Structure 1
Amino acid sequence: MKTEQILQTDVEVVSTKRKFRWSVVIWLLIGGIINYLDRTNLSIAAPAMIKDLHLSNMHIGLMGTVFSWTYAVMQLPSGWLIDRFGAKTMYSIAILWWSIATALTGACNKLGTLLGARFLLGVGEAPCMPTNAKITSEWYPKRERGLATGIWDASSKVGPAIAPPILVAIEVAFGWRALFFITGAIGIVFILIFMKFYRSPEKSKLLSKEELDYIQAEGGGSATTIETTKIKWRTLFKYRSVWGMILGFFCTIWIWNIFLTFLPLFLLKTQHISFAQLGIYASIPWIGGILGDVCGGYITKKLTDKGICSPINAKRGLIVICAILTAVVVILIPFMKGLVISLIFMTIALCTISAITGSAWALSGDIAPPALVGSVGAIQNFGGYFGGAFAPVVAGIIADTTGSYTIAFVSGGIIAGCAAIFYWFVVKDPIKE
């Protein structure tokens, strides 16, 4: 018993004094921010594109749907490719691809070419989040993956948060096409730097042997993620927990896509603010998303560290609570009167939604064996975006038909609440060989 306590103390000392591993999540955070800048630029450019190219709300929603559907379908081969060829290789190819697709969007003049550019963007962005999940499983022990995931998943909120003021300023100065050219160029510069400096844990010259041992003690390290497994990729769909993750993430991404595509247009229509003001107000709700991601990861880590519950149950419990809160708040949003109260409710909604997405991504590292983390994470994301792809076009049709976003938010809130059912009653046990 004493020997075990000494070993545990030694591990804790290593974990607190040597923390190079926490610098790795910065790569994932920056890459994710760029990823979401390249998604969000459409929502900022939408008003000008509608006017300049004679588009409608439905057309903007259709572009969002084409991206989401392509992104969803490409999750399936992406997860397999990541597990087969490694995180660094696939991440590099993906960012270069989607950055070029982003720049091409700025050169489009017709709906058909715009849809083609969004299709290419969906193909390129598909490997991003599954790669992040894979790198997290390599660089962090299980107890830390919730917090690490919360940090890099916050990029999906930091991007939309900083996008409005920056991109609005660019559009005012240079026009809407410049949004796509500039964000595309940023991605190309980033991936060149990433390719030069990023290394896996075993190949890193800056990671001490003590810290590597600590990471590997709880299932981390890239060596464990390339081990063979008896489970075939196609058989993953036979597992109950995998289906729970697919359906639960669909419920979450449905409302997420509505916010991502229509938040700026919703504010312009319902709060009667100017386009210049949009740069400030459209970024505020995403601050809640950042807090939700990081705080959600921190809470699950503390619950695990204190022995209150297992890593899996900590994440499942947080998801359930946040899904119920999301449902209530989202349903109330269209009935709020006044800019301040509307922004408060949207901020709370994005906070709880983000806590769900962060925990859901971290959950893939708990449910899947090390060799299949990328695949399971990608399959969950496939479920979310394949079904959630319909959300932007449905919301766009509702807005064009009724002249209001009320039905879109009410139905979206109900769907979001159903995530609690799937993550609690269907997602339960890890995949066992």
Structure 2
Amino acid sequence: MRYVILAFVFINIVINYMDRTNVSIAMPELAKEIGLTTVQQGLIFSAFGWIYAAMQIPGGLLLDRFGSRIMYFISLFGWSLMTVFQAFIGSFGQLMGLRLGVGFFEAPVMPANNRAISYWFPEGERGSAIGIYSSAQFLGLAFSTPILYTIHNSIGWRGLFIITGVIGIIWSIIWYTFYTDPEKNRFIGDDELAYIRAGGAITDGDRSLSAGEQTPKEKLSWANLKQLFTRRLLGIYIGQFAISGTFWFFLTWFPTYLTKAKHINFMQTGILSSIPYLAAFCGVILAGIISDRLIKMGKSPSFARKAPVITGLLLTLLILGANYVSSPVLIILFMSVAFFGNGLATITWVFVTALAPKNLIGLAGGIFNGCGALSSIVIPIVIGFLVSKGNFSSALVFVAVIALLGALSYIFIVGKIDLEKD
């Protein structure tokens, strides 16, 4: 059953990122139709992140209170409805408002994913599980991007929003009907439940003093909050901002970069832009498998968990190579290597489970994801200003510098991780 749940989480993320990226595909034609400047486009791209970041801590608290099932249903249904409404906009202000709405409803999503996996998977399998579900954002975009471009070309950007939104509404009902935590799931066997609990999965039983008796939920206090801002947690928060920075360049400005800066035609862009996503997918899968295998080989958890992240952030620096070539093949090669590195580094959710207090995983995940969400605000806006005169070279330098800061954070701030003490 845990692999069925993993498949459901995978599909959730595919839909989630499809609804984040559809605006970037629609933007060239949409901007022309309603008259948006590059600065306004940057604001549209970042609007999602404004409220998404602000709602991470409240979303984490609600997640700890109500669980993944109900919170995910509300989120998925809500952002999908906002997506459908985007088909009917006619001005900058309307689109801004709806992108804020998408960000509001998507806020609990990534902490909810992490919570579901923490409940369903033992520690020894969690790295691979996180790697698999994290890869959904890249694999889903790799295969859906050409399809989304085809939909756009067939029925326009308004039809694109309608179709992607309706898919999410239907899936939200399926999720609510099927998903529960392990101890409430009618399909899980006793052996599997015992296995995941013995392996360190977080279940309702962790709060039981005895059969039928539950520990009262600990109240949030300053002492608890201090546990969420240790040096190592601060280090992974900084790292998450850096990793998300590269991702948000690809999720927002990448199609415009190919069409406007490198003069690649629209349909060719739809095909070429899927290649870096496939590379990132390979990076995520490889990171999770290697990390878990290193643990089983007896390597230190610090080395096994951090090595893919640091290596990936350093590989991201190769995005600068695209500044010095004009061939579409070489441009996509540099972009693909950089995004492969970004995928390799995306296993970082494993640090939330490893370093955060068990009773505050939802809140810690909210803070962690909120730091990543800050990049969804900063990166699109800064790039919008940097490319206002049509030059993307400085934008790629900016992305590379952020990635370098992330690598330095994991090396010098996070330091050695001792899972036995944490």
Q: TM-score range by the shorter chain?
A: over 0.9
Partner of 2:283: 292
- Structure 2, unmatched stretches of 5+, are 208-214
Partner of 1:14: none
Partner of 2:368: 380
Q: Deviations over 1:269-306 (max 9, x none)?
A: 24322222222111111001111111111111101111
Checking the alignment, whether the CA contact within 8 Å between 2:283 and 2:342 is kept in structure 1 is: yes
Structure 1 residue 231, shift from structure 2 partner:
6.9
Structure 1 residue 405, shift from structure 2 partner:
0.8
Checking the alignment, whether the CA contact within 8 Å between 1:398 and 1:404 is kept in structure 2 is: yes
Structure 1 residue 317, shift from structure 2 partner:
2.1
Matches within 5 A, 1:341-356: 341-356=330-345
Change (3 A) 1:159 1:61: farther
Aligned equivalents of 2:12 and 2:206: distance in 1? 22
Matches within 5 A, 1:317-336: 317-327=307-317, 329-336=318-325
- Structure 1, unmatched stretches of 5+, are 1-19
Structure 1 residue 255, shift from structure 2 partner:
2.0
Structure 1 residue 224, shift from structure 2 partner:
5.1
Matches within 5 A, 1:10-409: 20-223=1-204, 228-229=217-218, 232=221, 234-310=225-301, 312-327=302-317, 329-357=318-346, 359-401=347-389, 403-409=390-396
Structure 1 residue 388, shift from structure 2 partner:
4.3
Name the amino acid aligned to 2:290: I
Q: Deviations over 1:204-253 (max 9, x none)?
A: 23222122111111221421565645874533443212211211111122
Change (3 A) 1:41 1:399: same
How many residues get paired?
410
Q: Deviations over 1:324-357 (max 9, x none)?
A: 1212x12222222301111111111111112212
2:410 maps to which of 423, 428, 432: 423
Range that drifts further, 147-156 or 232-241: 232-241
Range that drifts further, 92-101 or 371-380: 371-380
Structure 1 residue 69, shift from structure 2 partner:
2.0
Aligned equivalents of 1:230 and 1:54: distance in 2? 50
Name the amino acid aligned to 1:308: K
SS in 1 for 2:88: coil
SS in 2 for 1:176: helix
Aligned equivalents of 2:303 and 2:45: distance in 1? 34
SS in 2 for 1:378: helix
SS in 2 for 1:45: helix
Checking the alignment, whether the CA contact within 8 Å between 1:251 and 1:388 is kept in structure 2 is: no
> What is the aligned-residue RMSD (CA, Å)?
1.9
SS in 2 for 1:418: helix
Change (3 A) 1:372 1:194: same
Aligned equivalents of 2:326 and 2:313: distance in 1? 24
Checking the alignment, whether the CA contact within 8 Å between 2:146 and 2:270 is kept in structure 1 is: yes
Q: In the alignment, does 2:391 pair up with 1:410?
A: no
Name the amino acid aligned to 1:180: F
Moved over 6 A (4+): 430-433
Q: Deviations over 1:370-412 (max 9, x none)?
A: 22222212211111222441111111111113x2111011121
Aligned equivalents of 2:252 and 2:375: distance in 1? 15
The two structures have a TM-score, normalised by structure 1, of 0.90
Checking the alignment, whether the CA contact within 8 Å between 1:101 and 1:117 is kept in structure 2 is: yes
The two structures have a TM-score, normalised by structure 2, of 0.92
Checking the alignment, whether the CA contact within 8 Å between 1:137 and 1:373 is kept in structure 2 is: no
Checking the alignment, whether the CA contact within 8 Å between 1:212 and 1:221 is kept in structure 2 is: no
Change (3 A) 1:85 1:264: same
Checking the alignment, whether the CA contact within 8 Å between 2:257 and 2:392 is kept in structure 1 is: yes
Aligned equivalents of 1:72 and 1:423: distance in 2? 22
